[in-house]
Amino acid sequence: MACSTLMKILAERGHDVTVIAPFKEKNPPKNYRQIYLDGIYEQVSGQSTNLFELKPIPVVVPIVLHFVGMNFQEMTFNHTNFKEFMKGKEEFDVVITEEFQAEAIKYVAHHFKAPLIVYNAMDANEWIHPFQGNPDTPSYHPCRALTHLTNHMSFLERLENTIFYTYEKLFYNLISFPGQNRLLHQYYPDAPDLVDIAYNVSLVLLNADPSVHEAIPKVPSMKDIGGFHIRKPKPLPDDLQKILDNAEHGVIFFSLGSNVKSADMPKEKRDFILKKFSKLKETVIWKFEDPDLPGKPDNVIIRKWLPQNDIFAHKNVKLFITHGGIFSTMEAVYHGLPVMAISIFADQEMNGKRAEDNGFARHITFKALTENTFSDILDDVLKNPKYKENAQMRSKLMKDKPMSPADAINYWVEYVIRHKGAPHLRSAALDLRWYEYLLIDVVLFILVVTGAFLYTVLYLFKQWSRKRKSYKLKEN
pLDDT bracket for residue 311 (50, 70, 90) = very high
User: How do residues 51-80 score in pLDDT, each as one tens digit?
Assistant: 787 777 888 888 989 999 999 999 999 999
Q: What is the pLDDT averaged over residues 385-410?
A: 97
Question: Is pLDDT at 404 greater than 90 in this prediction?
Answer: yes
pLDDT at 3: 79
Instruction: Tell me the percentage of the chain whose pLDDT exceeds 90.
Output: 79
pLDDT bracket for residue 175 (50, 70, 90) = very high
pLDDT at 279: 96
**Of residues 86 and 150, more confidently modeled:** 86
pLDDT at 476: 58
pLDDT at 230: 95
Beta strand residue intervals within 234-299, DSSP E: 251-255, 283-287
Parallel, antiparallel or unpaired: strands 17-21 and 32-36: parallel
Question: Is pLDDT at 180 greater than 70 in this prediction?
Answer: yes
Query: Which among 192, 200, 318, 179 has a CA at the least distance from the CA of 252?
Result: 318
User: How do residues 412-427 score in pLDDT, each as one tens digit?
Assistant: 999 999 999 999 999 9
Question: Is pLDDT at 146 greater than 90 in this prediction?
Answer: no
pLDDT at 16: 96
Q: Are 413 and 117 in contact (CB under 8 A)?
A: yes
**Of residues 16 and 137, more confidently modeled:** 16
pTM for the model stands at: 0.90
* Cα gap 321→338, rounded to integer Å: 9
Beta strand residue intervals within 231-282, DSSP E: 251-255
pLDDT bracket for residue 394 (50, 70, 90) = very high
pLDDT bracket for residue 150 (50, 70, 90) = confident
Q: What is the pLDDT averaged over residues 181-196?
A: 97
Question: Is pLDDT at 465 greater than 90 in this prediction?
Answer: no
Mean pLDDT over each residue of the chain, to the nearest integer: 92
pLDDT at 383: 95
Question: Is pLDDT at 475 greater than 70 in this prediction?
Answer: no
Question: Is pLDDT at 153 greater than 80 in this prediction?
Answer: yes
* Angle (deg, nearest 10), helices 61-78 and 177-187: 10
pLDDT at 271: 95
User: How do residues 19-30 score in pLDDT, each as one tens digit?
Assistant: 999 988 888 888
Annotate 406-435 with b (16+ C-beta within 10 A) or e (fewer).
bebbbebbeebbeeebbeebbeeebeeeee
pLDDT bracket for residue 90 (50, 70, 90) = very high
pLDDT at 349: 92
pLDDT at 434: 84
User: How do residues 254-274 score in pLDDT, each as one tens digit?
Assistant: 999 888 889 999 999 999 999
Q: What is the pLDDT averaged over residues 124-152?
A: 88
Q: What is the pLDDT averaged over residues 103-130?
A: 94
Q: How many residues does the chain have?
A: 476
pLDDT at 473: 62
pLDDT at 46: 58
pLDDT at 47: 58
Alpha-carbon distances, residue 7 vs 94, 407, 430 (angstroms): 12, 12, 28
pLDDT at 474: 65
Q: Apex CA 344: angle with CA 157 and CA 397, to 5°?
A: 70
Question: Is pLDDT at 472 greater than 90 in this prediction?
Answer: no
Query: Which among 34, 96, 101, 97 has a CA at the least distance from the CA of 74?
Result: 101
pLDDT at 1: 61
According to CATH, what is the number of the domain 2-228+404-431? Answer: 3.40.50
- Cα dihedral 376/380/383/387 (nearest 10): -160
Q: What is the third-level CATH fold of 238-399? A: Rossmann fold (3.40.50)
Q: Are 327 and 123 in contact (CB under 8 A)?
A: no
Query: Which amino acid does the sequence have at 139?
Result: S
Q: Are 321 and 300 in contact (CB under 8 A)?
A: no
Alpha-carbon distances, residue 411 vs 96, 124, 208, 416 (angstroms): 14, 20, 17, 9
Beta strand residue intervals within 230-316, DSSP E: 251-255, 283-287, 300-303
Q: Are 384 and 363 in contact (CB under 8 A)?
A: no
**Of residues 370 and 51, more confidently modeled:** 370
* Cα gap 32→295, rounded to integer Å: 46
Q: What is the pLDDT averaged over residues 432-461?
A: 94
* Cα gap 399→405, rounded to integer Å: 10
Q: What is the pLDDT averaged over residues 170-185?
A: 95
How far is residue 221 CA from its own chain's centroid?
A: 17
